[in-house]
Amino acid sequence: MPRNCVFCKIIQGEIPAVKIWEDKNYLAILDLNPNTEGMTLVLPKKHYSSDAFNMPEKEYKNFFIAGRKMAKLLKRKLKVKRVALVMEGMGVDHAHLKLYPLYGLEKNFVSITPAQKIFFEKYPGYLTTQLGPQKSLKELEKTAKKIRK
């Protein structure tokens, strides 16, 4: 356990948190700074870097299975149609999933597209699912070439 990892300290019981679900390998807590009711963090009890794509494959799969279990619980208990999942990992260097209950959705799927467009040249400390300005296929092909190399 890294000495200064706040999530490791929560898992060890050294820092209080509101726990809502736990098994032998994972812990789910309510976020101290939620932007919606029930915003939840799912943490592996074993410390992994917040760049969770580097987790061993088995642990990575089980991590997402734990996230799905928690999302289903949030949907049922908070009576929401969907829960969004984000794995940004920039606030604390300990792998974690952020679950956001999505309130106010219709019973049947309805596409929701904000009018405002946004594009980040540099990471500003947060993510958004807002669409950016539309790119041409030619512009997208330039990016695709970088990725395919």
Flag whether 28 is in a domain: yes
What average pLDDT does range 95-114 have in this prediction?
89
pLDDT (0 to 100) of residue 92: 95
In a domain, 107, yes or no: no
Each residue of 38-50: b (16+ CB within 10 Å) or e? bbbbbbbeeebeb
| pLDDT for 18 | 98
CATH of residue 11:
3.30.428.10
Examine residue 78 and state whether it is found in any structural domain, yes or no. Answer: yes
Q: What is the mean pLDDT of the chain?
A: 93
Q: Is residue 45 part of a domain?
A: yes
Q: Shortest CA distance to 27 belongs to which of 47, 52, 54, 49?
A: 47
Does residue 85 form part of some domain? yes
Segment 3-20 shows an average pLDDT of 95
Q: Give the helix ranges, DSSP H, for the chain.
A: 6-11, 57-78, 137-148
| Residue 60: per-residue pLDDT | 98
Half-sphere exposure of 53 (CA within 13 A, CB side): 3
Residue 1's pLDDT band, with cuts at 50, 70 and 90, is low
Domain membership of residue 59 (yes or no) is: yes
Please, which pLDDT band fits residue 77 given cuts at 50, 70 and 90? very high
Domain count, the chain: 1
Structural domain of 78:
6-102
Residue 130 has pLDDT above 90, yes or no: no
